[in-house]
Amino acid sequence: MGFPWKFPHELARCLYSAGLSASVFWNDLNAEIGTAGVLIERACTRYDLVDNPRLGDMPFMEAGSGGVRPPDRLGERPAILWNGPSGFYPNGTDPLPSVVDDGVEWQSAETAVTSFLRPSAEREEGIPTFLDLLVGSLVELADTLPLRAQDLHDAPWRGEAAALPQRALRQVYDNMIYLATWADTLDAACKRFLEVVDWYTKNFYEMVDPHRPYWDELLDLGTTADSRARTFLRTANPLFLEVLDMIPPPLTENLPGLMVVDEDLTRLRSEIKYRKEYDSAALNRYDGRQWLEESEKLLQGREAAERTYG
């Protein structure tokens, strides 16, 4: 972006981060669905689940640290590259950057013009297009998942081991609807932002240019180039604030945690314990306290997944 004051830049950064959050959640959601499918496939052949219905861990890291190999089915499934669950899987919140309007009082017409670069706001690419595709894919998934869950329900498979995957699929479905609604709200904010950017770029030089012809100056009734510049920026601020109000609250996952393995619990417990015992200075800062609060919430979600699914 090339605006002469900070607010639109921070707003663009916030929208971009929100789009990345949606992408991360979408990855976790799809991986969780795939995990549920493989677990169900495995569980159908395990009679030991009658006595102990917990489904157990899956060895995700068979391909080593460079990639992940899903459990093979008849040796036909190829290895895929995947970095594993996100840092806020299965129940964390991805905070959005703060947006602060620092005002326009220090701007002059000359600094506004020389610091302005026409922003690139291609509608064919970027976050709005991605969000449109994401919402479409979620609607398609939402139409398909209940049918697969019904197939599972109709199968000759009963007991707690059969109920656990159904419970997981319902929770995945709720997350799917939540993400679709969230992404659609963000999509509207992004598109409104691009509309404001279009309005701004089309009117900027006409309203702010300090080198306008003399007869235009006569029509300005005593205003100066600097006052016109600040008036224009003040007019733009409420439009950008409108976009800020449209951004949904931070995205929070609430997935079953089928991808949680024992190593995740051990690693997170050790990191929290180390921070509490040896890094008190960091925990006295706001970002340190925020990290601890979010990490303990993640640990609770992963422990709950371990108790439920094994």
Per-residue pLDDT tens for 42-59? Answer: 766 766 666 776 777 765
Mean pLDDT of 64-83: 47
Confidence at 189, pLDDT banded by 50, 70, 90: very high
pLDDT over threshold 60, residue 64: no
**185 or 74: which carries more pLDDT confidence?**
185
- In this structure, of 63-72, 144-153, 176-185, 204-213, the range with the lowest mean pLDDT score is 63-72
Task: Please state, rounded to an integer, the average pLDDT across all residues of the chain.
Answer: 80
Contact indicator for 35, 58 with CB cutoff of 8 Å: yes
- In this structure, of 95-104, 118-127, 165-174, the range with the lowest mean pLDDT score is 118-127
Confidence at 72, pLDDT banded by 50, 70, 90: very low
pTM metric for this prediction? 0.81
Confidence at 248, pLDDT banded by 50, 70, 90: very high
pLDDT over threshold 50, residue 61: no
State what percent of residues in the chain have pLDDT above 90. 23
pLDDT over threshold 70, residue 218: no
**124 or 139: which carries more pLDDT confidence?**
139
Identify the top-confidence range among 109-113, 139-143, 176-180, 209-213.
176-180
Q: What is the reported pLDDT for 298? A: 92
**102 or 228: which carries more pLDDT confidence?**
228
CA distance 179 to 291: 23
Q: What is the reported pLDDT for 111? A: 84
Confidence at 226, pLDDT banded by 50, 70, 90: confident
Q: What is the reported pLDDT for 219? A: 53
